[in-house]
Amino acid sequence: MKQTAKETAVVTPTARVTAARLAIRAARPRRLTNTLLWAAQIPLAALFVYFALAKLTGGLEQEFADIGAGQWLAYVAGTAELAGAIGLLTPWLAGLAAAGLAAVMAGATIINATVLHHTTYGSLVGMTALLGAVCSLLAYARRQQIKAVAAAIRR
């Protein structure tokens, strides 16, 4: 049946959600690749939960005092890391979470290399750079899912 110029299609919110879920599911990597990505994401999420709890419970007060930003930055960074860890364990958010954590680790690497380079925390540059690289690789591997989520949000 042909659609005339004056007719409009009715798309319900439920149909949009279903279409978005199908698009995100279709964007998943192959089975072996997906299994390897999950094998990396699960321990990475556990590591970020550990780091987030250290920041949110006040265990790194001296580090953030050396930065000069105060404890509020520890809460922001800890919350971002905890949200990223939860996102890494959520199938349709894993790519976005990895991209967000890569950005957080890029900021941490810059701060450790420039501001904290003469303190005991300056030696963490290698670790934050490595974690940022791993998160970047995860985000790159899940780039099709990121595109599908972005397309679903735009609808």
Express each pLDDT in 99-147 by its tens digit: 999 999 999 999 888 888 777 666 788 899 999 999 999 999 999 988 8
d(CA 110, CA 9): 51
Model-wide pTM > 0.75: yes
Mean pLDDT across 60-78: 82
| pLDDT classification of 15: cutoffs 50, 70, 90 | confident
